[in-house]
Amino acid sequence: MRKFFLGFITAASVVVLAGFLCVRFGLMDPRADIPVNSLERRIAMPSLDAAVDRRAPEVQNPLQPTDANLIAGMKTYQTNCAICHGDIHHPHGMLADSLHPRAPQFVEDAPDMPENQNFYIIQHGIRLSGMPAWKQSLSEQEMWQVTTFLSHMEKLAPKVSGAWQAASGGSSDENKSPDASKMDMKDKKSMNMPMK
Ligand code: HEC
């Protein structure tokens, strides 16, 4: 029994040491644009869900999903989040395949986590991923508005989705916001890409 125990400890130490040496001496591929493998997917995703589930305080969203709050959330989203998470006009965001782990594409696959968990992630970001912590740059109200927008993204009233179309450069005609002109530049860039 003692022999078995010693053998087990030795084997475990060898595995840990080999792992450390691989990481320390550069055998890990540092590129962000390689495919996310199924082991990473199977371990990282459930681990993130469990960690957020454990930590996110059980707070209630203080806002009502009024058109005004959803439009304000949409604007915050369009300015700060769409490049990674996609928008109504670019469901597959510009950086969708350029991050490791990949950023979820919310228009292709609507966010289904509880609002307190999305709010917690927006506030604090996700370590070792491209997801920034927004607490320093967005107000509490803006973070709740964008949280509300995420949970209603699939079922927006025509007024809100129309405003989103315009802000994302989808329909060029009606009341373009200043944000929309920025998105236009992005548009042109991405339209140029296939021609290169
Ligand atoms: C630079 C790219 C980038 C930007 C900008 C960005 N995110 Fe993220 N976000 C990510 C990545 C990458 C992940 C996935 C991290 C992971 O799986 O470990 C993520 C994850 C999330 C999640 C968790 C989704 C889930 O189902 O697990 C939410 C919610 C989220 N982001 C909201 C936002 C909001 C809201 C904004 C804007 C205020 C934003 N993100 C801006 C890259 C970004």
Q: How far is the CA of 157 from the centre of ligand 1 (A)?
A: 24
- State the angle between helix axes of 67-80 and 158-167 in degrees (0 to 180), rounded to the nearest 10: 20
pTM: 0.84
Is the domain spanning 70-168 CATH 1.10.260? The answer is no
Pocket test for ligand 1, best of 43, 52, 75, 131 (most atoms within 8 A of CB): 131
Residue range 152-191, pLDDT digits in tens? 999 999 999 999 999 998 764 444 444 444 444 444 444 4
Sign of the torsion angle spanned by Cα atoms 126, 181, 94, 196: negative
| Pocket lined around ligand 1, Cβ cut-off 6 Å | 48, 77, 80-81, 83-85, 95, 99, 101, 103-104, 111, 113, 118, 121-122, 126, 129-132, 134, 146
| Ligand 1 atom closest to residue 147's alpha carbon, by position in its atom list | 35
